[in-house]
Chain A
Amino acid sequence: MALPVAFFAVFFAWPVAAIVARGLKVDGAWRFGRIVDVVAQSDIRHVLWFTTWQALASTALTLLIALPGAYVFARFDFPGKHVLRAVVTVPFVLPTVVVGTAFLALVGRGGLLDELWGVRLDTTVWAILLAHVFFNYAVVVRTVGGLWAQLDPRQEEAARMLGASSLKAWRRVTLPALAPAVAAAALMVFLFTFTSFGVVQILGGPTFSTLEVEIYRQTSEIFDLATAAVLTIVQFAAVVAILAVHAWTVRRRETALRLVDADLTARRPRGAGQWALLAGVLVTVVVLLLLPLAVLVQRSLGAADFGYYRALGGEDGGTFLVPPIEAIGNSVRYALAATAIAVVIGSLAAAALTRRDAGRLVRGFDALLMLPLGVSAVTVGFGFLIALDEPPLDLRSSWILVPLAQALVGVPFVVRTMLPVLRAVDVRLREAAAVLGASPWRVWREVDLPMVRRALLVAAGFAFAVSLGEFGATVFIARPDSPTLPVAVARLLGRPGDLNYGQAMALSTILMVVCAVALLVLERLRANRTGEF
């Protein structure tokens, strides 16, 4: 418990406090009146309104489209399932900038749809909403589907025997058991879309702007740190309010679920309805998730003989101090370190939160852990830069700074993924181990760990993927001579010319492949370990 708290105090609370102070303090005096001044501006009010409703709409749309997918992945067995599960996760780890660009290539001017039917969506909010669904599909499928796969189908059968129709049985038995996972997923999606940056930046144009984009604009284009800080505070308050609601709903009764081996619950679809559902989900995945990625790959191959790829290895015209290709190694190294940190900190936090005697203080920490997700990544990165650059903690020149920032974003995933499973472990199993002579630490290792290994692997995969794709914070603190993949992509996109555009596409494709490989390894690990469960 102490370690996670210290971690968050030093690497989250302090930097955020530093940037707020930098923004609101003028000549040593606090000027809170600025908050009212800024929010009263009509264009800021417009930004606030748009941020909220597009996040709500995106969350609803994502749940609507992804919940059938979660069901199909949890309950059906079909060829290529493991590969497909990894594939749907790839969009989530892509840098937001690339997601935006891929959708621009699909639905924008001169995009695929424009070429074929003359349809353009880039001036409408639909492009943003669809990109958000593309981005968050995996969140719902992984979080909800992961639990769904381990729910005992016999519970539903028991309800059927008691006279419930299959729909009613699902609504009365399965849905309540899934509710915590659905709520967790919905909350995540809402927070991501509420703080959406890259996607809106590219697809929103001048019409649509979220708080995050506005903060970035104020910080890097107008250099109005004070206004940026005020906006950060507003966003912070909104996120705290959302999380307070979440913490309040979390206090629902925690029931010990009957968890079974996920492989036992999946079976071949039966009947026309189930085959149609499977087909529908597959079509959705292909059109919504694979098509933009295909367009991305196709654009990266725009030059003859893999010209864009070969250009990555060479010295370029001054965008980088090193060949762009080195960004791959940097990214993987950083992401591995960040994953290790996130898993350790997240597991400790989750274990502390699972204790039945956990007090109000600890439960509050649950919500606190989600804060880094809600607070603008730009703020975290910028805060790192100004807070951790002087004694006692001068990390500005240390490589660890980047993994730390990425871990900060990864920890909530680890906690969110592990908590439902840890809470479902029967407390008497732990007692049985204790009575047989296991100390509390051994109980965790011998009883909890084997049961949550699956969840832990999923969490680690998530943390790794998030670290790989992290952009907002990394862009501030990555050193110029060791950029990560997303940072390199953004720098290439920021420069004019077909070659830079093509190189960005090529590098994005590489990032996509690295993520896909990492996730495939993870799926393989899961498949091998299932015998132990």
Chain B
Amino acid sequence: MLLSLEDATVRFGGRAVLDAVGLDVAEHEIVCVLGPSGSGKSTLLRAVAGLQPLSGGRVLLDGRDQTGVPAHKRGVGLMFQDHQLFPQRDVGGNVAFGPRMHGEAKGERAARVRELLELVGLPGAERRAVASLSGGEQQRVALARALAPRPRLLMLDEPLGQLDRSLRERLVVELREVFHELGTTVLAVTHDQGEAFALADRVVVMRDGGIAQSGTPLEVWQRPADEFVARFLGFDNVVAATVSGQVADTPWGKVPVPEGAPQGPAALLVRPAGVRLVEPAEGLRCTVAARTFRGTHVAVHLQPEDAPRLEAACALRDAPGPGDEVGVAFDAAEIVLLGKPSALGSGS
């Protein structure tokens, strides 16, 4: 393993910001840590970088314990959330900083800078002032600067956080291409699931300083480990249920579940795509509370009597308007039973 965290713990005051985290990153792997703000993901990066001492546990790079190794000797790269380019240096000076610290010769440095600026799509930008760069350009320069000293592990803290949406979507594809081309090992953190899923080979969801789930983007998306992960991914159709056989008893009535579902009490998730609209008489009676246009589909918020709200995904043509009465039927294929039943009803 290139990077291993063993029970890594960081406490601020009495509070554990990082709580006995265990995490492995293999060489050439792109791992994305996903979590809401305050879940400890930035602290995780800082701990690996050596900017934040651990209160307990260990960080190992290539199997070697990094306790007591200062940040500048760890050989890892970190791209900061707001880039933190050196304002008094031009683009070339920023990118050349790392190689210069490692004592590379001037000629090699210049060649390296040229090569990296080409790689990030800013050829010939060496003499430009940092202040004259747009947000996207700053991001590219920050990436080139982080890559310049050839770190064995590159860490990205909310790499695309401050950019606008279209730029973000383009850059995330570019980033993935660059990392695969270079074979870079990457540990990124973000609160944006779209970014994480597009970038990562593996996604790690964090909650309250611990790891809630780890898996490929598809695994995490298809089978959220628990209610927290499901809600964080944007799924709000979660209720308490009791499964018996092929049917679950929920506040929304009887809901069909997939074959082989564990029996007994559980948290149950219905993906919006699994909420089918039927005639009011035929299913669960709901009133349309709101309608949100999502580009490819329309999200319809439904309010049943005496039960939590439901979100349904509808084709543009058939979406009912607010105030309409509809019936709801459930599709067993889009229903997931989550790991543990927890305090439900929050946020619904």
Q: How many residues of A contact B (CB 8 A)?
A: 21
Q: With A442-B101, A446-B97 in contact, is A434–B72 under 8 Å at CB?
A: yes
Interface band, chain B: 20 to 34
Decide yes or no whether B149 CB sits under 8 A from chain A: yes
Decide yes or no whether B80 CB sits under 8 A from chain A: yes
Q: Which residues of A contact B101 (CB under 8 A)?
A: 433, 436-438, 442
Nearest-neighbour CB distance to chain B for A112, whole angstroms, equals 49
Q: Which residues of A contact B72 (CB under 8 A)?
A: 434-440, 442-443
Q: With A428-B80, A442-B101, A446-B97 in contact, is A435–B86 under 8 Å at CB?
A: no
Which residues B66-96 have CB closer than 8 A to chain A? Answer: 70-73, 75-78, 80, 82, 84, 86-88
**Which of B70, B101, B146 has the most chain A CB atoms inside 10 A of its CB?**
B101
Decide yes or no whether B145 CB sits under 8 A from chain A: yes
Residue of A nearest to B148 (CB): A436
Q: With A428-B80, A442-B101, A446-B97 in contact, is A435–B71 under 8 Å at CB?
A: yes
Decide yes or no whether B102 CB sits under 8 A from chain A: yes
CA distance A446 to B146 in the complex (A): 16
CA distance A440 to B51 in the complex (A): 12
- Is the CB–CB distance between B88 and A431 below 8 Å? no
Which residues B91-113 have CB closer than 8 A to chain A? Answer: 97-98, 101-102
Nearest-neighbour CB distance to chain B for A404, whole angstroms, equals 34
Q: Which residues of B contact A533 (CB under 8 A)?
A: 87-88
Residue of B nearest to A450 (CB): B88
Q: Which residues of B contact A432 (CB under 8 A)?
A: 78, 80, 84, 86
Decide yes or no whether B49 CB sits under 8 A from chain A: yes
Residue of A nearest to B85 (CB): A432
- Is the CB–CB distance between A436 and B80 below 8 Å? no
Task: Pick the residue among B84, B88, B145 that contacts A532 (CB under 8 A).
Answer: B88
Decide yes or no whether A523 CB sits under 8 A from chain B: no
Task: Pick the residue among A431, A437, A450 that contacts B98 (CB under 8 A).
Answer: A437
Task: Pick the residue among B51, B87, B88, B102 that contacts A435 (CB under 8 A).
Answer: B51
CA distance A443 to B72 in the complex (A): 10
Q: Which residues of A contact B73 (CB under 8 A)?
A: 437
CA distance A239 to B139 in the complex (A): 51
Q: Which residues of B contact A446 (CB under 8 A)?
A: 86, 97
Decide yes or no whether A158 CB sits under 8 A from chain B: no
Q: Which residues of B contact A428 (CB under 8 A)?
A: 80, 82, 84
Q: Which residues of A contact B102 (CB under 8 A)?
A: 437
**Which of B49, B70, B88 has the most chain A CB atoms inside 10 A of its CB?**
B88
CA distance A154 to B96 in the complex (A): 32
Residue of B nearest to A438 (CB): B101
- Interface flags for A443-481 (1: CB within 8 Å of B; 0: not) read 100110011000000000000000000000000000000
Q: Which residues of A contact B82 (CB under 8 A)?
A: 428
Q: Which residues of B contact A276 (CB under 8 A)?
A: none
Decide yes or no whether A152 CB sits under 8 A from chain B: no
Main secondary structure of the interface of A (DSSP, over half): helix
Q: Which residues of A contact B49 (CB under 8 A)?
A: 431, 435
Decide yes or no whether A429 CB sits under 8 A from chain B: yes
Decide yes or no whether A326 CB sits under 8 A from chain B: no
- Is the CB–CB distance between A437 and B84 below 8 Å? no
CA distance A272 to B36 in the complex (A): 53
CA distance A532 to B86 in the complex (A): 11
CA distance A426 to B85 in the complex (A): 11
Residue of B nearest to A451 (CB): B88
CA distance A451 to B86 in the complex (A): 10
- Interface flags for A397-441 (1: CB within 8 Å of B; 0: not) read 000000000000000000000000000001011011111111110
- Is the CB–CB distance between A433 and B97 below 8 Å? yes
Residue of A nearest to B103 (CB): A437
- Is the CB–CB distance between A431 and B71 below 8 Å? yes
Nearest-neighbour CB distance to chain A for B144, whole angstroms, equals 12
Nearest-neighbour CB distance to chain A for B106, whole angstroms, equals 16
- Is the CB–CB distance between B84 and A436 below 8 Å? no
CA distance A431 to B76 in the complex (A): 12
CA distance A429 to B94 in the complex (A): 12
Nearest-neighbour CB distance to chain B for A327, whole angstroms, equals 41
Q: Which residues of A contact B75 (CB under 8 A)?
A: 437
Residue of B nearest to A449 (CB): B88
CA distance A532 to B149 in the complex (A): 24
Residue of B nearest to A533 (CB): B88
Task: Pick the residue among A434, A436, A438, A447 that contacts B51 (CB under 8 A).
Answer: A434
- Is the CB–CB distance between B71 and A434 below 8 Å? yes
CA distance A148 to B78 in the complex (A): 33
CA distance A431 to B74 in the complex (A): 13
Task: Pick the residue among A434, A437, A439, A447 that contacts B86 (CB under 8 A).
Answer: A447
Residue of B nearest to A437 (CB): B101
CA distance A437 to B145 in the complex (A): 12
Residue of B nearest to A439 (CB): B72
Nearest-neighbour CB distance to chain B for A453, whole angstroms, equals 9
CA distance A434 to B46 in the complex (A): 12
Which residues A9-34 have CB closer than 8 A to chain B? Answer: none
Nearest-neighbour CB distance to chain A for B161, whole angstroms, equals 14
CA distance A533 to B87 in the complex (A): 7
CA distance A435 to B145 in the complex (A): 11
Nearest-neighbour CB distance to chain A for B97, whole angstroms, equals 5
Task: Pick the residue among A429, A442, A451 that contacts B84 (CB under 8 A).
Answer: A429
- Is the CB–CB distance between A434 and B98 below 8 Å? no
CA distance A434 to B77 in the complex (A): 10
Q: Which residues of B contact A447 (CB under 8 A)?
A: 86
5 nearest A-B residue pairs (beta carbon): A437-B101, A436-B98, A434-B71, A432-B84, A435-B78
Known: A429-B84, A435-B49, A437-B75. 14 other contacts (CB 8 A): A431-B49, A431-B71, A432-B86, A434-B50, A434-B70, A435-B76, A435-B77, A436-B97, A436-B145, A436-B148, A437-B73, A437-B98, A438-B101, A446-B86
26 contacts between A and B (CB under 8 A): A428-B80, A428-B82, A429-B86, A431-B49, A432-B80, A432-B84, A432-B86, A433-B86, A433-B97, A433-B101, A434-B51, A434-B71, A434-B72, A435-B49, A435-B51, A435-B77, A435-B78, A436-B148, A436-B149, A437-B98, A437-B102, A439-B70, A440-B72, A443-B72, A446-B86, A532-B88
A residues near B (Cβ < 8 Å) are 426, 428-429, 431-440, 442-443, 446-447, 450-451, 532-533
